[in-house]
Amino acid sequence: MLNKLFKSFLFLISTALIFSGCGGSSAAPAAKPKVMPAWISAPLPSDNEKFMYGIGIESNRETAIKAALSDMIAKLGTTIESSFESNQEVQGAYAKSTIKNQIKSGVSKIKINNYRVVKSYKINYREFAVMIETDKQKLVKGLKENLKAQKKSIMQKSASLKGSDALTRYNTKKELSQEASKLLSETFIIAELDKSFDKQIYLDFIAKKQKEFLIESKNLKFYVSGNKKSAKFVDSIKNYLAQNGFNVANSKKNAIEIKIKTTDNINRSSSMRIAVLTMNVSVFDNSQRIGGKSVIIKERYNGSDANVYKNASIHLEQDIKSQGINEVIGINLNI
């Protein structure tokens, strides 16, 4: 009996030792530390004639790519601005500080679509790194095509002005001058990226469009006239035009003519004495009507027609300042 118990005891001990041994052998080996790729902290490859590079680290792959594109654009802007700053060439009538600001703005608007992700790595659960590469020659080609298309559009709009009235010519040439000026930054950006690019063709084109607008603005004149009751309204419109730099002439020859005819209906008898003035405005260019409208002005009548018209002219000036002269008298003038 004792012998049997002893054997059972030995069996239990050996079983326990076996299970304890198995448990000890199941311990996992220590995890090896994650080694970050060297390219993440190393300097980026230098931009060259064929490729440009950018790097970004953000919370995920998509935002990291956007950051890398921004990095690429920022480097490009710094390079172009530095090159322009060291260039002592006089660029006609352009102020260097103005061009530099335009270049900065132009670079920030460049869209890079022909990029590819050359390296990517998930650093941890909240950081993702990418390096991108873009074909510099394709980028320049796209910029050149866009510049050429914009120039062509300006030329077509300019050609369509033949036979137009003076206001249309002035407005359009002002817009075209502004559009041409925007080509300045793109011209210098392309010239920096492609040393063989002839920027002078575009600089001459921009200068030509600016000169055309200056000539048109000098030739634009206004002649404002009216009947006796319109005298104060005529003065208000003349003053506004002059204050905004427009030429107000004493003769209607070769001028935009603004004719005002005012009538009134003054209730002098009732307790609510109201003066209703109707200002009929007509705008002509060489006998061709190009604008105008009827304006109703209501004033209290205090026994003096002069005060009615004085107050009406003050309110007309206030309306022109708040609404603009185009809305008030029915013309289309790019101010």
pLDDT 10s digits, 50-105: 999 999 999 999 999 999 999 999 888 888 877 776 664 545 545 666 777 777 78
Confidence of residue 308 (pLDDT cuts 50, 70, 90): very high
More confidently predicted of 271 and 290: 290
Q: What average pLDDT does the segment 115-144 reach?
A: 93
More confidently predicted of 26 and 225: 225
- Sequence-distant (6+) residues with CB within 8 A of 79 are 47, 192
Percentage of residues in the chain with pLDDT exceeding 70?
Answer: 85
More confidently predicted of 246 and 36: 246
Instruction: Enter the pTM of the model.
Output: 0.77
Comparing 98-107, 118-127, 148-157, 172-181, which segment has the lowest mean pLDDT?
98-107
Check residue 5 and give its pLDDT.
43
CATH numbers and ranges of domains, the chain: 39-135 (3.10.28.20), 138-219 (no CATH), 221-329 (3.30.160.150)
Q: Indicate the average pLDDT of the chain.
A: 86
Check residue 10 and give its pLDDT.
46
Residue with the two structure tokens 């506004």: 240
Confidence of residue 224 (pLDDT cuts 50, 70, 90): very high
Confidence of residue 290 (pLDDT cuts 50, 70, 90): very high
Confidence of residue 29 (pLDDT cuts 50, 70, 90): low
CA distances from 232 to 220, 238, 258, 278, 314 (A): 23, 10, 14, 14, 9
Nearest alpha-carbon partner for 45 in 135, 139, 131, 137: 131
Distance CA 189, CA 64 (A): 26
Confidence of residue 23 (pLDDT cuts 50, 70, 90): low
Confidence of residue 127 (pLDDT cuts 50, 70, 90): very high
Check residue 55 and give its pLDDT.
95
Phi, psi of 309, rounded to the nearest 5 degrees: -70, -35
Q: What average pLDDT does the segment 266-279 reach?
A: 84
Query: Which span out of 37-46, 100-109, 212-221 was modeled with the highest average pLDDT?
Result: 212-221
Check residue 332 and give its pLDDT.
93
